[in-house]
Structure 1
């Protein structure tokens, strides 16, 4: 199964580059992107990516399927500040794909995929909506996530 980019974005060697926009009101009093906005932009990029593939959440956790997940861990390393509004990108990929967990990596970067501003990872666990206990990802979600595996992660899984 091949997933087409959501918008025309430059190719990256692995993962997906998703356009994001920094608005003037995302900047703090020093004129830099507020630290809380970096993960928010990445979260929005992931939501757009999955939504573009037919995954979504409309308020019904029982019907949410793979979108019913929780964050176990998040790490962000701020490399250099974003100092003006404009068009940027979130480079998204999968580091590890487990039975119930998924670790994804990300970079907030220039729109063409160069110039990293922040990078990190986030660990998600899919949960059953009634029991709120870990439950396996669907085969469809696993297939899509496997296509986003970074090359080193593919080698480690083999």
Structure 2
């Protein structure tokens, strides 16, 4: 788009929590870096790992689950196997039934994101798939990483 300026990559300290990502040989594409679709798997894994570790998500039995309704990513520097990657997360918007997460991907010891994006979960009843208010324990865990 004419006139659009490129975003500035986020820094490590812009995020509140994180987890290590293990890159795999098959994540690389023919261009010699991680395929763009893999970044979205990493976003989802980082957030769900945080929720599981905090005890507010049981992927097999939770009555309320988060469904992704929006996602985006900006790429600033390539990541390739066998890079070590840290996925850092934060909550950018906390609603009644939805949450927008920000995720930054950091290669090695770098403190500037190689990629950064966000995605929105709408929390729904597992069976009816109807939106439901965030339970107080989930809301409390999300408030810990809200910016």
TM-score where L is the length of structure 1: 0.78
- CA–CA separation in structure 2 for the residues paired with 1:111 and 1:53: 25
2:70 equivalent among 73, 82, 100: 73
Give the number of the structure whose residues are more often helix, by fraction: 1
Q: Secondary structure at the match of 1:93?
A: strand
Over the residues paired in the alignment, what is the CA RMSD in angstroms? 1.8
Q: What do residues 30-88 of structure 1 show as CA deviations (whole Å, max 9, x unaligned)?
A: 21001111111121122221221222212xxxx4134x121111111111211331311
3-state SS of paired residue (2:100): strand
Instruction: Give CA deviations for 1:84-135 in whole Å, capped at 9, x if unaligned.
Output: 3131111100001111010110111124461311111101101122321110
Give the gaps of 5 or more residues in structure 2: 1-11
- Give the drift of 1:14: 4.1
Higher relative contact order (CA 8 A, sep 6+): 2
Q: Give the TM-score normalised by structure 2.
A: 0.83
Asked if 2 retains the 8 angstrom alpha-carbon contact of 1:91 and 1:113, the reply is no
Q: Which residue of 1 aligns with 2:29?
A: 28
Runs of 4+ that moved beyond 3 A: 11-14
1:12-27 equivalence runs, <5 A = 12=13, 14-27=15-28
Counterpart of 1:100?
97
Q: 1:126 — aligned with what?
A: 123
Q: How far apart in 1 are the matches of 2:59 and 2:126?
A: 13
C-alpha spacing 1:82/1:112, structure 2 compared with 1 (3 Å)? same
Q: Distance in 1 between matches of 2:71 and 2:15?
A: 21
